[in-house]
C-alpha cells in the first residue's frame, strides 16, 4: 500500500506525535493569515491559495475532533479574508464599498469631456466639451492649451443623466407631467357637513313613553336577577351531575373509567362543573358571551369559585355563603384577573369537541327591539 492509501485508513489510535504535528501545522497557517493579512489582500498575492492547499494536505491526516476544530477555524479566517480581497478587487481599495472620491472625479471628467458621445462634431457637445476633446487628441499642442474652459461643464448634470444614466435605467418610460410639479401647495381639506336626506315617505312613527318607577327598578335589577338564576342553575346542575356520576360509578371500575364517566357528564375532579360546558350555549354565540359576562360577576362577588382539576381544566362551583358567615369555613381566598377571548371559530370548535346539544344555562328568549320612542327609550 502506498502513502495515499495509508492516509485514507481511519486510525482512532493516532500517535500523539502525529497529532501534535498536524495541530502545529494548522496553527502556523492561522498565525500567517493573522500576521500577513494585508499582504494576502494584494491583488498579485497567492498566499490564500497556498494556505488552502496546505490546509487540504493537513486535513487528510485529521483523525480527532481537536484537529478538526482548528481546521474549521482556519477555514473561517481564510473565507473572510477571501471575501475582503474580492471586495477590494471589484470595488477599489476600500473594502467596505466604492471609493467616493474616485467616483466623483470620474463623474466630473465624464461631464467635462462629453463622455458618451462618439463624434467630436456632434451637436450634443457644447463648445467647451468639443474644444477640450480636440485638445486631448492633439498630442502636439502644449500642456497649457488643456486649460481652455477648465471650469466649463464641470457640473453638467443634464449631460450625465442623458448619456450615462438613461441608457442603463430599468424603469419604464414615464412622461414628465406624471412626475408632478416641483413645488406642491398643500390644500386644506374642507370638512363637509353630512346630513341624512329628507325622505317624507320613510318617516318612522314615534310614540310617547310612559315611564314608571317600577319599570326603571326592573330594568336596573335585570343583571342581578339573571345572575341569581344562573347561580341557582349551577347549584341544581352540580347536585344532579354528582348524583348521576355516583350512580354510574361502581367499585370494580378503574380510575380511567371513572374519569371518562365524569368527563362525559361535565364533572371535574374538583367536584365542580366544567366551565366551558356550563357557559357555552350551542344555540347562540351572543348568549355564550353574555353567560361569560354573568359568571364573571358571580366570581367577582364571591358567589362562585373557579378551580383547576388534575388536567389543568377550569371548573365552577358555588360558594357556601352561609358557612362563611357562621365562620365554619375560614380560608384565605386569592383574587386574580384574567382575560378570556371568544370568537365564532373558537365557539364552534368547543361545541364540536364537547358534543354540546343543549345549553346548561337556560336559553333566554331574544326579544325583538323596536325603534326609540319620544325620549329615546326602546320599547
In a domain, 123, yes or no: yes
Q: Write b or e for each residue in 49-64: b if 16 or more Cβ atoms lie within 10 A of its Cβ, otherwise e.
A: eebeebbeebeeebbe
Q: Which three cell numbers stand for residue 106?
A: 470620474
**26: in domain:** yes
Q: Which of 299, 310, 297, 303 is nearest to 271 (CA)?
A: 310
Which of 57, 91, 125 lies at the terminal end of a domain, its last residue?
A: 91
The per-residue pLDDT of the chain, averaged, comes to 77
Q: Which grid coordinates belong to 289?
A: 358571551
Distance CA 348, CA 76 (A): 55
Among 51-55, 118-122, 166-170, the range with the most confident prediction by mean pLDDT is: 51-55
pTM for the full model? Answer: 0.40
Structural domain includes residue 377: no
* Position 192 in a domain: no
> Which of 14-23, 101-110, 153-162, 258-267 shows the highest mean pLDDT?
14-23
| Domain presence at residue 250 | yes
Chain-centre distance for alpha carbon 151: 55
- Both 277 and 228 in a single domain? yes
Inside any domain, residue 205:
no
228 and 344 share one domain: yes
* Of 168, 193, 224, the domain-final residue: 168
DSSP per position, 142-160: -GGGGGTTTTTTTT-HHHH
Over residues 97-104, mean pLDDT = 72
Does position 190 have pLDDT exceeding 70, yes or no? yes
Q: What mean pLDDT is predicted for residues 215-219?
A: 57
Same-domain check for residues 125 and 163: yes
320 and 226 together in one domain: yes
Taking residues 205-224, report their average pLDDT: 65
Domain extent, residue 130, equals: 100-168
pLDDT average, residue stretch 208-233: 72
pLDDT higher than 80, residue 271? yes
Q: What is the total count of domains within the chain?
A: 3
Domain boundary among 91, 121, 149: 91
Q: Which strand ranges, in their side-by-side order, compose the sheet holding 273-274?
A: 273-274, 314-318, 304-308
Both 227 and 263 in one domain: the answer is yes
> Looking at the domain assignment, is residue 262 inside a domain?
yes
23 plus 124 within the same structural domain: no
Element of type H or E holding 220: helix 213-220
Is residue 174 in a domain?
no
In the Cβ-directed half-sphere of 179, how many Cα atoms lie within 13 Å?
8
In this predicted structure, what is the pLDDT of residue 140? 44
Whether residue 350 sits in one domain with residue 217: yes
| Position 53 confidence tier, pLDDT thresholds 50, 70, 90 | very high
For the segment 69-90, the average pLDDT, to the nearest whole number, is 88
Q: Which residues pair with 267 in a beta bridge?
A: 273
Residues 132 and 249 in one domain: no
pLDDT of residue 25: 92
Residue 70 scores a pLDDT above 80: yes
Say if residue 160 is in the same domain as residue 222.
Answer: no
Q: Residue 139 pLDDT > 50, yes or no?
A: no
Lowest mean pLDDT among 172-176, 242-246, 348-352, 362-366: 172-176
Report pLDDT for 54: 92
- Taking only the tens place, the pLDDT of each residue in 195-212 is 777 777 776 777 776 766
Same domain membership, residue 76 and residue 118: no
The mean per-residue pLDDT over the stretch 356-370 comes to 77
Asked if 218 and 253 sit in the same domain, the reply is yes
Q: Inform me whether the pLDDT recorded for 57 exceeds 50.
A: yes
Give the pLDDT band (50/70/90) at residue 308.
Answer: confident
Report pLDDT for 13. 76
Question: Looking at the structure, do residues 230 and 121 belong to the same domain, yes or no?
Answer: no
- Strand residues in 154-284 grouped as ranges (E): 273-274
Amino acid at each position: 500500500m502506498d502513502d495515499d492509501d495509508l492516509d485514507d485508513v481511519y486510525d482512532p489510535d493516532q500517535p500523539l506525535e502525529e497529532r501534535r504535528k498536524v495541530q502545529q501545522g494548522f496553527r502556523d497557517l492561522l498565525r500567517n493569515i493573522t500576521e500577513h493579512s494585508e499582504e494576502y489582500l494584494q491583488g498579485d498575492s497567492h498566499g490564500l491559495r497556498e494556505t488552502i492547499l496546505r490546509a487540504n494536505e493537513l486535513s487528510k491526516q485529521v483523525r480527532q475532533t481537536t484537529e478538526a476544530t482548528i481546521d474549521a477555524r482556519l477555514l473561517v479566517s481564510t473565507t473572510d479574508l477571501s471575501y475582503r480581497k474580492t471586495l477590494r478587487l471589484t470595488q477599489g481599495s476600500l473594502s467596505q464599498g466604492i471609493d467616493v472620491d474616485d467616483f466623483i472625479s470620474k463623474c466630473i471628467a465624464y461631464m467635462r469631456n462629453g463622455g458618451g458621445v462618439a463624434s467630436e462634431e456632434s451637436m450634443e457637445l457644447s463648445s467647451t466639451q468639443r474644444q477640450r476633446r480636440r485638445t486631448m487628441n492633439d498630442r502636439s499642442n502644449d500642456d497649457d492649451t488643456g486649460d481652455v474652459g477648465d471650469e466649463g461643464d464641470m457640473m453638467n448634470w443634464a449631460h450625465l443623466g442623458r448619456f450615462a444614466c438613461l441608457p442603463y435605467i430599468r424603469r419604464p418610460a414615464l412622461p414628465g407631467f406624471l412626475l408632478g410639479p416641483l413645488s406642491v401647495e398643500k390644500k386644506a381639506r374642507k370638512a363637509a357637513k353630512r346630513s341624512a336626506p329628507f325622505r317624507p315617505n320613510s318617516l318612522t312613527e314615534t310614540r310617547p313613553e310612559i315611564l314608571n318607577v317600577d319599570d326603571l327598578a326592573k330594568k336596573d335589577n335585570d343583571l342581578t336577577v339573571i345572575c341569581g338564576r344562573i347561580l341557582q342553575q349551577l347549584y341544581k346542575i352540580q347536585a344532579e351531575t354528582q348524583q348521576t356520576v355516583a350512580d354510574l360509578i361502581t367499585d370494580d371500575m378503574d380510575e380511567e373509567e371513572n374519569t371518562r364517566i365524569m368527563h362525559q357528564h361535565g364533572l371535574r375532579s374538583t367536584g365542580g362543573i366544567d366551565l366551558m360546558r356550563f357557559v357555552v350555549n350551542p344555540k347562540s354565540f351572543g348568549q355564550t358571551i353574555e353567560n361569560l359576562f354573568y359568571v364573571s360577576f358571580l366570581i367577582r362577588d364571591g358567589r362562585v369559585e373557579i378551580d383547576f382539576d388534575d388536567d389543568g381544566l377550569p371548573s365552577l362551583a358555588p360558594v357556601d355563603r352561609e358557612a362563611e358567615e357562621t365562620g365554619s369555613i375560614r380560608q384565605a381566598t386569592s383574587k386574580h384577573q384574567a382575560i378570556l377571548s371568544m370568537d365564532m371559530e373558537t365557539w364552534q370548535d368547543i361545541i364540536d369537541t364537547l358534543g354540546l346539544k343543549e345549553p346548561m344555562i337556560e336559553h333566554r328568549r331574544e326579544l325583538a327591539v323596536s325603534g326609540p320612542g319620544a325620549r329615546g327609550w326602546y320599547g
